[in-house]
Structure 1
């Protein structure tokens, strides 16, 4: 019982550590991606998702990133205007579009992926027990997603 009470007491510090680590990693990656490729970490993540999931819809991105459909759609609009993403008619649902990387978007992703991976390796490769941390965070993410926790309301 004492161990459980101590664990519960430690939860706010765990939350703070998770959030602060995510923010610092995100900012460090964002700085490098902006400097070398002129895109943000959020844009890189969308390019990565579209690279890995051809013909995704805005709704698919919203689910993946736990973000509102409107916010994702506006981000896609900006990326389309930059020539990185293309919208194509969805043959099974006229209300939605299928998204794809343009040729420029694909080239940008390939270059940015190298930068992203190099910077992430610089920041995390020497972390003790990296495999255990990765496995634990993957389990936490899966649990939250399976329970549909933290999705935007609209």
Structure 2
């Protein structure tokens, strides 16, 4: 846990300093870039966080002009989230900062161990998601 926390804090500090967003906000924005037609519930499910917290996070990003809500043509009670041009540009610029954390990890582990660690973490995440372990109740 300490290792993950230190890496996340390093990324968070770099994202705030270089792009004015928290690491979690960058993750939301990157997901929206890569998954068009996303709803708040989709984000909440993917990131295993509550719908209320996700909606508040989108409100903040919308207030900064990085995200907009558009009517869902398939369900008039729902909205889809999409990046604005400003949000798209920010994600593009922040991708390089995110990559710097990968370089930090690569300097600490030799390539074979890095590959094994990544594979192990993918397997663990798949098992946790399959069994819905760590999914918030609300």
* TM-score by shorter chain over 0.5: yes
Q: Aligned equivalents of 2:4 and 2:119: distance in 1?
A: 16
Q: Aligned equivalents of 1:61 and 1:20: distance in 2?
A: 26
**What's the secondary structure of 1:149's corresponding residue?**
coil
Q: Aligned equivalents of 2:85 and 2:104: distance in 1?
A: 30
**What's the secondary structure of 2:69's corresponding residue?**
strand
**Greater C-alpha radius of gyration:** 1
Which consecutive residues of structure 2, in runs of 5 or more, have no partner in the other structure? none
Alignment of 1:56-135 (within 5 A): 56-118=38-100, 120-126=101-107, 127-128=109-110, 129-135=113-119
Structure 1 segments of 4 or more deviating over 3 A? none
Number of matched pairs: 135
Cα offset, 1:123, TM superposition: 1.6
Root-mean-square deviation (CA, aligned residues, Å) is 0.8
Q: Aligned equivalents of 1:107 and 1:27: distance in 2?
A: 23
**TM-score between both structures, scaled by the size of structure 2:** 0.95
**TM-score between both structures, scaled by the size of structure 1:** 0.85
Q: Aligned equivalents of 1:21 and 1:48: distance in 2?
A: 23
Match of 2:4 among 22, 46, 61: 22
**What's the secondary structure of 1:95's corresponding residue?**
strand
Which consecutive residues of structure 1, in runs of 5 or more, have no partner in the other structure? 1-18
Q: Aligned equivalents of 2:37 and 2:10: distance in 1?
A: 30
The structure with more strand, counted as a fraction of residues: 2
